[in-house]
Chain A
Amino acid sequence: MQELLGRITALDPEASVAIRVIACFDELIIGNVNTRALLSTAASLAGCPAGYAQDRPHRTVRMDPRGQPLHGPPPDTVRAIDLPQSAQVWIEREGAPHANDTIIVERLALAVGIRLGIERHDIEPRRDVDVMLDGREPRDLRREAACRLHLATTARLRVLAAPLFAVWGTHARGPGDVVSSEFGPVHAVVVTADHDPVDVSPAGIGVATDVDGLPRSYRSALVALRLCAPPEEPAVRADDYGGLAELLADTPADHPNPDADRLAELMAHPWARSTVDALVRATTVRRAARLEGVHHSTMQTRIETLTATLGFDPMDGYGRARLGVAYLLWRLRTSRVMELPTPAALAAR
């Protein structure tokens, strides 16, 4: 895979190979693969052997880039990282280090450590952006992290969240990092509230807050991100949904919701998605029919089907709000924006 990494860089010098290496090891960690497989991947990515050793009981494993075990001790000079419990991982680079060596050894160490039962936080110190966006951390710690990142406590900020393989036309200015989310690893950048629009697809832009509110902005950015539907809707601003985005951020993705459940049944109809979209956006049935490009009577028939399935009239009173919320929940549940990588993104290059 070293050769594939080289090809990615050759095709697009701006592409972040490091982020792909991180994602690769994250998948290996999630897949709970064994040490041999972790070393084989590291060796394959580096194009040179990778190894692991521990003291008690004494054990050394070395794998070559083709996934074949190597016997005997490693060479004297290796690029190594020590792990707790007197363990060590390394890659056996001869000559000058390559650009990706550091990230490969770092992620290998993390993955091997977790495989051996060492807690993640004992190997990988929490990073500032991660701390700042984590609402479970005490406010003082989050403020300290912000301070180290030179963010004033009074500044108006918002979080931009994108999948690791998002395509960036212009880059966001502000501290950023790969942070975990329940939907997979996310590239989060903290920008000023009045930052110029960023050309990136897909991405969610969170609500504006002060430093203390950044976890809330991050959560609303994740909702916005999952509402993206590139290429038609490459980026979504949580501001456009106001308080709804924050309500949705506090609703677990798999939380049962009878309105959304019934709407999901309805979405089996080929006309349903665009019709519901038109109804949510339009103020009258006539306007919705025009948006959808159908006759008023056709739209009326569809609304009757909707009413029968949903059990309420989506055009009346709270029915409109219920339809809107159910539609957003359905979009979040069926979002594919975090499925990586995005093929449309490559086509756009």
Chain B
Amino acid sequence: MSPATSAHGPPRPGFDPELKAGLAIVGGVFPPTITPELIPFMRRSYASPPVGETLAGRAVRHREYEIAGHAGDPITVSVFRPADAPGPRPVIVYAHSGGLMFGDRFNALDANLAWVERIGAVLVTPEYRLAPEFRDPYQREDVYATLLWTVENAAGLGLDPRRVMVAGASAGAGLAAGLALAARDRGGPRPAGQLLIYPMLDDRGTAASVNQFDGVGVWDRVSNETGWSAALGPAYRTDAVSPYLAPARATDLRGLPPAYLDVGSAEIFRDEAIAYAGRLWQAGGDAELHVWAGGFHAFDIFAPHTALAQGMLRTRFAWVERLLAD
């Protein structure tokens, strides 16, 4: 891996060669720089394949529920459970990626079903409402409602309420971290862990890594600004932003469940993830942080066949297994 040449702006770590090759394909569906005009394009290009295709040949049962989301409006929640696993099952409430503006509850499902198939966990994924049509607090409160619904219906759903993990990727990981904060502050259910996959934590965009990758890789500074302003509207970058949407703004990180954070070294969220893990440790918390050298944002979703993605997926899986397995 050689350092990237950048005519403008600060130097930056280069991409892993396998991943750099993958970008030649990824760039066709996910451009590095996403402006508001590109949101309709992204909604088409980042839509998940039909869930039936992903489930084909797997010992997984899928059922959809309509639950009351924010303000009591109905939202759809998908529940994936192992076809055959006795006893109360551990559960993962997972918020999908897509910058708060696109993506759906089946995003990254192919990889995430490993938790169902190999640990026997139940995966709960809400179709939280998207910005800019729905602004804060819709995303985080739809996800919070999903957590409450899951715990309240644990017995009926065959779940073990002591083994509930909150999880998410990218924007969804920000929502998961916010969920852990909100559950603590509101006296809600205490999750057994928070799985924060390359989390989107901070609307302020002040970390050095945010400015290192303009126009390259996946999800650059401009894309980030597009996502945050879509969700926050006029509150963007003001003190009115809730730490439940931008958890880096939380002033107190004590008393949170064990955290797992992973991130690429060649993506804008690198320094935000490192800082959040550091603050969790300083607050006496339990956190595990993995920085994958040369990884662009969400490389495990786009290029799961690469050696780096396999390392990321394997290491993440081992942590989930440690926390949730029977």
- B interface, how many residues as a size bin? 35 or more
Given contacts A7-B29, A347-B35, contact A336 B7 (CB under 8 A): yes
Q: CB < 8 Å: which of B7, B17, B32, B305 contacts A27? A: B17
Give a binary string over B301-312; 1 marks a CB under 8 Å from any A CB, 0 the rest.
011111101100
Which one of A15, A25, A28, A36 has the greatest number of beta carbons of chain B within 10 Å?
Answer: A28
Give a binary string over B252-284; 1 marks a CB under 8 Å from any A CB, 0 the rest.
000000000000000000000000000000000
Given contacts A27-B17, A28-B21, A347-B35, contact A1 B27 (CB under 8 A): no
Given contacts A25-B21, A41-B21, A349-B41, contact A340 B27 (CB under 8 A): yes
Q: Is the CB of A33 within 8 A of B18?
A: yes
Q: Give the total number of A-B pairs whose CB atoms are below 8 A apart.
A: 118
Q: Is the CB of B21 within 8 A of A343?
A: no
CB contacts (< 8 Å) of B10 on chain A: these are: none
CB contacts (< 8 Å) of A335 on chain B: these are: 7
> Which applies to chain A's interface (DSSP): helix, strand, loop or mixed?
helix
- A225 at interface, CB cutoff 8 A: no
CB contacts (< 8 Å) of A4 on chain B: these are: 25-26, 28-29, 302
- Tell me the nearest residue of chain B to A348, going by C-beta: B37
Q: Is the CB of A43 within 8 A of B21?
A: no
- A65 at interface, CB cutoff 8 A: yes
Q: CB < 8 Å: which of A15, A25, A67, A347 contacts B37? A: A347
A63, chain B: closest CB distance, angstroms: 8
Interface positions of A from 43 to 64, Cβ below 8 Å from B:
43-45, 63
Give a binary string over B32-61; 1 marks a CB under 8 Å from any A CB, 0 the rest.
111101100100110001000000000000
B15, chain A: closest CB distance, angstroms: 9
Q: Is the CB of A11 within 8 A of B25?
A: no
- A32 at interface, CB cutoff 8 A: yes
- B12 at interface, CB cutoff 8 A: no
Report how far A182 CA is from B306 CA in the complex, Å.
27
CB contacts (< 8 Å) of A24 on chain B: these are: 21-22, 24-25
- A interface, how many residues as a size bin? 35 or more
- A40 at interface, CB cutoff 8 A: yes
Q: Is the CB of B17 within 8 A of A31?
A: yes
A30, chain B: closest CB distance, angstroms: 7
Q: Is the CB of A30 within 8 A of B17?
A: yes
Report how far A347 CA is from B37 CA in the complex, Å.
7
Report how far A341 CA is from B37 CA in the complex, Å.
18
- A333 at interface, CB cutoff 8 A: yes
Give a binary string over B1-30; 1 marks a CB under 8 Å from any A CB, 0 the rest.
000000110000000011011111111110
Given contacts A25-B21, A28-B17, contact A1 B305 (CB under 8 A): yes
CB contacts (< 8 Å) of B8 on chain A: these are: 334, 336
Q: Is the CB of B21 within 8 A of A31?
A: yes
- A118 at interface, CB cutoff 8 A: no
Q: Is the CB of A5 within 8 A of B45?
A: no
- Tell me the nearest residue of chain A to B26, going by C-beta: A4
A282, chain B: closest CB distance, angstroms: 26
Report how far A20 CA is from B21 CA in the complex, Å.
9
**Additional 9 contacts, C-beta under 8 A, given A40-B307, A66-B305, A340-B27:** A4-B302, A11-B41, A11-B45, A15-B28, A24-B22, A27-B21, A67-B304, A343-B33, A349-B41
List residues of chain A with CB under 8 Å of any chain B CB. 1, 3-5, 7-8, 11, 15, 17, 20-21, 23-28, 30-33, 36-37, 40-41, 43-45, 63, 65-67, 165, 333-336, 339-341, 343-344, 346-347, 349
12 residue pairs of the A-B complex, CB under 8 angstroms, read A4-B25, A5-B25, A7-B29, A20-B25, A25-B21, A27-B20, A31-B21, A40-B307, A339-B216, A341-B31, A347-B38, A349-B41
